[in-house]
C-alpha cells in the first residue's frame, strides 16, 4: 500500500476496507439464512426411485359364450335348412286332404327337451324361376301350444323316388303315337296287354325296343271272380309261354277291372313276379314292398276327375309328397286309352303334364320289371 501523505487519505482507505468486510459478512449471513430455510445442503445427488418390478401379464381372457338361443329358434333353423335329421311323413287330415308333417324332439345344452310338430303347406308351394319351391311351414310348440310360421326353399334332388306308370288293354295304335312324347321326357312305362302273342307281337316288340315294358292283362278281359278256376288259368297264364319264347318276359300281371279273390294272388305269383290291382286311392310303396309281389295302382282316367284343375291339384300334391318326404317312395299310376273323349283314358295334355311335372321334381320313371333286375 502507498502511504497517503495527509491523515485524511489514511482514514479513507481504512473506511473502504471496513465497508468491504461488512459486505462480505452480509453475503455470508444471507447464505446461512438460505441454508437454514432450505435445509441442510447435500452435494450427493439424490438417487432416482427404483422402477417397479414388471407385473407378470396374464393371458387375455376369452370372451364369454353368447347365450344359447331358445329351442324354437334352433328348430326353425333346422326346418329352413331342410335338415335330414327331420323325418317327414304324410297323412290325410280331418278334411281328407293329404298333408306332410314332422315331429321334432330338440334338447338344449342344459338337457332341457322341447317337443314340436311341423306342418308343411306343400300343396301351395310356389315354384321359383330357379326351380326351387318356396314352402310355407307352421311349427307348433306342443308344450305351450304357440304357433310359429316361416318359409323354406326346397330344391328337389335326384333319389330313388318315382312313378310307376302303366296303360291297360289293347290301344296299341294309340299308344304307338305317343312313343315320341315318352322319349321327349325320357319316360319309361309298362303296357298291360290283352289277347294272344300273335295279336300283340308287333306292338310288344316295338315297345320293348324303345325301352318300355310289357305286362299281361288276360286273354279276354273277363271279370275273374265270376269264372271257374279252370277258365281262370286259361285267361291268365295260357299265353305266357308264347310271349316268353319270343323274349317278351311278362314279369307282371294286372287284374281286369282291378277285381280279384285273395287266392288269386298266390296262384298268379307262381307265374308272374308282380301282381297289380287297381283303385282310386293314393298308395305309395317302398321298393322292398313292391318286390313282395302285390301292389295297387291309382287310376288317372278322365272319369275320375271333375275338371283339369282337379286333375292338376291331385297330381301336384301326390308327386310333391313322394318327393318331399325323401323316403324313396314309388307311386303306381294307371290309365287306359290316350284320348280327350274316352272316360277310361287320359287326355294327351294331361299325360304330358304328368311327364313334365315328374321331370321337374326329378322323379324316376319305373317299369314293373325294374324291381326284379339285378341290383334293384
**Residue 23 belongs to some domain of the structure:** no
pLDDT, tens digit, for every residue of 313-368?
999 999 999 999 999 999 999 999 999 999 999 999 999 999 999 999 999 999 99
| Burial (Cβ within 10 Å: 0-12, 13-18, ≥19) of residue 265 | middle
State the pLDDT at residue 328.
Answer: 97
Domain identity same for 100 and 244:
no
State the pLDDT at residue 2.
Answer: 37
Domain identity same for 259 and 190:
yes
pLDDT, tens digit, for every residue of 230-242?
999 999 999 999 9
State the pLDDT at residue 62.
Answer: 72
C-alpha cell at 282: 293314393
Whether the pTM exceeds 0.85: the reply is: no
pLDDT, tens digit, for every residue of 272-291?
999 999 999 899 999 999 99
**Residue 364 belongs to some domain of the structure:** yes
Domain identity same for 320 and 351:
yes
Q: What is the mean pLDDT of the segment spanning 115-121?
A: 97
Provide the percentage of residues in the chain whose pLDDT is more than 70.
82
State the pLDDT at residue 109.
Answer: 86
Residue 252, domain extent? 162-372
Contacts of 320 (CB under 8 A, 6+ apart): 122, 123, 125, 133, 361
**Residue 64 belongs to some domain of the structure:** no
State the pLDDT at residue 43.
Answer: 42
Domain identity same for 140 and 259:
no
pLDDT beyond 70 at 22 = no
Domain identity same for 129 and 187:
no
**Residue 331 belongs to some domain of the structure:** yes
pLDDT beyond 90 at 261 = yes
State the pLDDT at residue 254.
Answer: 98
- Confidence band (pLDDT; 50, 70, 90) for 63? confident
Residue 338 CB neighbour total at 10 angstroms:
19
**Residue 65 belongs to some domain of the structure:** no
Domain identity same for 189 and 267:
yes
- Confidence band (pLDDT; 50, 70, 90) for 27? low
Total count of domains within the chain: 2
154, 174, 189 — which closes off a domain?
154
State the pLDDT at residue 19.
Answer: 58
- Confidence band (pLDDT; 50, 70, 90) for 59? low
Domain identity same for 148 and 173:
no
Domain identity same for 123 and 249:
no
115, 138, 154 — which closes off a domain?
154
Domain identity same for 114 and 232:
no
State the pLDDT at residue 55.
Answer: 57
Handedness of CA 306, 310, 314, 315 (dihedral sign): positive
Domain identity same for 312 and 196:
yes
CATH number of the domain to which 264 belongs: 3.20.20.370
Instruction: Name the average pLDDT for the chain.
Output: 88
Question: Comparing 18-32, 37-51, 56-70, which segment has the lowest mean pLDDT?
Answer: 37-51
State the pLDDT at residue 318.
Answer: 97
Contacts of 69 (CB under 8 A, 6+ apart): none
Domain identity same for 230 and 353:
yes
State the pLDDT at residue 49.
Answer: 54
**Residue 48 belongs to some domain of the structure:** no
Domain identity same for 76 and 202:
no
- Specify the residue for cell string 438460505: 34
Amino acid at each position: 500500500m502507498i502511504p497517503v501523505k495527509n491523515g485524511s487519505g489514511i482514514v479513507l482507505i481504512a473506511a473502504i476496507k471496513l465497508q468491504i468486510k461488512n459486505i462480505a459478512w452480509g453475503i455470508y449471513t444471507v447464505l446461512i439464512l438460505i441454508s437454514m430455510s432450505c435445509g441442510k445442503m447435500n452435494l450427493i445427488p439424490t438417487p432416482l426411485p427404483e422402477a417397479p418390478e414388471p407385473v407378470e401379464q396374464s393371458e387375455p381372457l376369452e370372451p364369454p359364450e353368447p347365450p344359447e338361443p331358445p329351442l324354437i329358434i334352433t328348430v326353425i333353423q333346422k326346418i329352413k335348412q331342410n335338415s335330414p335329421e327331420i323325418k317327414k311323413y304324410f297323412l290325410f287330415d280331418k278334411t281328407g286332404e293329404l298333408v306332410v308333417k314332422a315331429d321334432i324332439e330338440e334338447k338344449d345344452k342344459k338337457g332341457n327337451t322341447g317337443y314340436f310338430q311341423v306342418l308343411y303347406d306343400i300343396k301351395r308351394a310356389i315354384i321359383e324361376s330357379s326351380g326351387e319351391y318356396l314352402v310355407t311351414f307352421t311349427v307348433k310348440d306342443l308344450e305351450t301350444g304357440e304357433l310359429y310360421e316361416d318359409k323354406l326353399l326346397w330344391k328337389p334332388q335326384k333319389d330313388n323316388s318315382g312313378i310307376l306308370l302303366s296303360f291297360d288293354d289293347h290301344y296299341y295304335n294309340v299308344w304307338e303315337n305317343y312313343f315320341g312324347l315318352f322319349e321327349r321326357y325320357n319316360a319309361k312305362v309298362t303296357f298291360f296287354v290283352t289277347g294272344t302273342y300273335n295279336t300283340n307281337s308287333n306292338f310288344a316288340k316295338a315297345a320293348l325296343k324303345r325301352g318300355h315294358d310289357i305286362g299281361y292283362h288276360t286273354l279276354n278281359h273277363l271279370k275273374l271272380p265270376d269264372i271257374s278256376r279252370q277258365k281262370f288259368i286259361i285267361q291268365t297264364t295260357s299265353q305266357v309261354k308264347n310271349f316268353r319264347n319270343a323274349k317278351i318276359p311278362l314279369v307282371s300281371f294286372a287284374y281286369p277291372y282291378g277285381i280279384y279273390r285273395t287266392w288269386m294272388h298266390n296262384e298268379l305269383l307262381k307265374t308272374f313276379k308282380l301282381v297289380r290291382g287297381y283303385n282310386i286311392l293314393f298308395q305309395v310303396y317302398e321298393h322292398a314292398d313292391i318286390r313282395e309281389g302285390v301292389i295297387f295302382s291309382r287310376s288317372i282316367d278322365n272319369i275320375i276327375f271333375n275338371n283339369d284343375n282337379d286333375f292338376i291339384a291331385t297330381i301336384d300334391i301326390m308327386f310333391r309328397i313322394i318327393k318331399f318326404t325323401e323316403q324313396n317312395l314309388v307311386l303306381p299310376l294307371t290309365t287306359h286309352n290316350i284320348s280327350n273323349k274316352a272316360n277310361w283314358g287320359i287326355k294327351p295334355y294331361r299325360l304330358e303334364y304328368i311327364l313334365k311335372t315328374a321331370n321337374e321334381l326329378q322323379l324316376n320313371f319305373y317299369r314293373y320289371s325294374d324291381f326284379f333286375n339285378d341290383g334293384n
